[in-house]
Structures are given as C-alpha cells and as structure tokens.
C-alpha cells in the first residue's frame, strides 16, 4: 500500500512539473520590450527596467505608471499591467524602481470621530525591502513570495536584482507560474 501511494505521489509531482514546463514552452511569447513605448520608457528611467521574456499566455501590455509619460523627463518608477489577448482580463502586474536611494510617499490619515473630521498628511520615507513571505530563489537571488489571504492563485513576488526592486502581483497566475515568469525576466535595456 505504501509503495502504491508513493508511486502515485511521484507520478503526480512529475506530471505537474511537466505540465508547467509545457505551458511555458508552448506559450507563444510576445516580447514586452518590442513595444515602442516601453523602449522609450527604458531610455529615460533612472534604473534598469526588466521585462519577462515570455508569458504564460499571450498578453497586451499597458504602461500604467508613469502616466502620462513625458519624453525627456526622468522616470523613477514603472508600473506595467499585462492583460490577456482581448485586453479585458488582468493577468499580472510588474512594479519596478531603484532599490537604493528611492523615496516613497506614504499618506497618513487621522480620523477624529468625535468632531467628524479627518486630516491626511504625506510622509516621505526611504524605500526598505520587506522581508515578509516565503523565501524564493530567483536566478540565484533571494526573493519573497506572499500568497493572497483568500486562497486564490498568485500573490506578490518581489526581489532586488541589479539595484532594481521588482514586484510581480497576480490573482490569475499560480505561485509556480509567477516564479517561472520572474526567472524569465531580463534587462534588454535600450542604449
């Protein structure tokens, strides 16, 4: 009985790995960096922008941030959204910025219930990489994965590579698909 159970488990693990590999290999890659607007963005960013060399599915790319992108103006943060071929279903997003000497704005809202008022102030802080989540190896670099709390696929996967902070978020891709996507990312910087 034990041997039979172990055989089933091994077969299951092998089939899952083969299935993931086939999904990646059979995907019709569309290179994100072939997008003309993304090439312009890479030329004005004050950090190296990394993009996936493949996706689990074909996708459409939307440059969410900076918006609008002003040619000649330095870019300090990039947010890319990837949708399915129809452009209607959000698959994953990638946020990138410098890992060192990057400032973030944090809004703090104080609510006075007694007087029915609220005040909001913005605090500027140095960026600090969060150590929360499961350790994940991404091409020899330590990353962190945090699953969504409501047990849907995906979550957040973040790491620092060549002084660039990179974070992928998805509610569609599984953890393994997100890791494969992260491992496929490369610079392809336009000089």
Ranges 84-88, 138-142, 157-161: which has the least confidence: 84-88
Domain count, the chain: 1
Residue 23 within a domain: no
Residue 122 within a domain: no
Residue 170 within a domain: yes
Residue 24 within a domain: no
Residue 18 within a domain: no
> 3-state class of 78 per DSSP?
strand
Mean pLDDT over 9-36 rounds to 41
Q: Domain containing 153: what range?
A: 29-101+128-183
pTM of the model: 0.70
Residue 190 within a domain: no
- How does residue 186 score in pLDDT terms, banded at 50, 70 and 90? confident
Residue 7 within a domain: no
- How does residue 170 score in pLDDT terms, banded at 50, 70 and 90? very high
Residue 20 within a domain: no
Cβ atoms of 63 and 80 closer than 8 Å: yes
CA distance 142 to 159: 7
- Is residue 127 over pLDDT 70? yes
- Is residue 14 over pLDDT 80? no
Kindly tell me the sign of the dihedral angle through the C-alpha atoms of 71, 90, 135, 12. Answer: negative
**Tell me: the pLDDT tens digits for 64-110?**
888 666 767 788 899 999 898 888 889 999 999 998 888 888 899 99
- Is residue 9 over pLDDT 60? no
Q: What is the DSSP letter of 55?
A: -
């Amino acid at each position: 009985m034990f041997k039979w159970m172990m055989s089933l488990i091994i077969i299951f693990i092998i089939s899952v790995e083969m299935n993931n590999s086939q999904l990646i290999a059979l995907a019709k890659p569309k290179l994100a960096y072939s997008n003309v607007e993304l090439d312009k963005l890479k030329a004005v960013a004050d950090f190296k922008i990394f993009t996936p060399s493949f996706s689990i599915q074909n996708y459409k790319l939307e440059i969410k941030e900076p918006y609008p992108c002003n040619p000649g103006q330095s870019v300090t943060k990039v947010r890319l959204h990837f949708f399915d071929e129809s452009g209607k279903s959000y698959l994953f997003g990638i946020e990138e910025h410098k890992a060192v000497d990057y400032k973030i704005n944090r809004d703090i809202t104080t609510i006075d219930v007694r007087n029915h008022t609220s005040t909001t102030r913005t605090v500027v802080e140095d960026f600090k990489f969060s150590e929360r989540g499961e350790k994940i190896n991404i091409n020899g670099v330590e990353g962190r994965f945090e699953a969504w709390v409501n047990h849907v696929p995906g979550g957040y996967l973040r790491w620092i590579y060549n002084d660039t902070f990179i974070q992928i978020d998805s509610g569609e891709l599984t953890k393994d698909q997100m890791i494969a996507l992260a491992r496929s990312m490369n610079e392809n910087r336009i000089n």
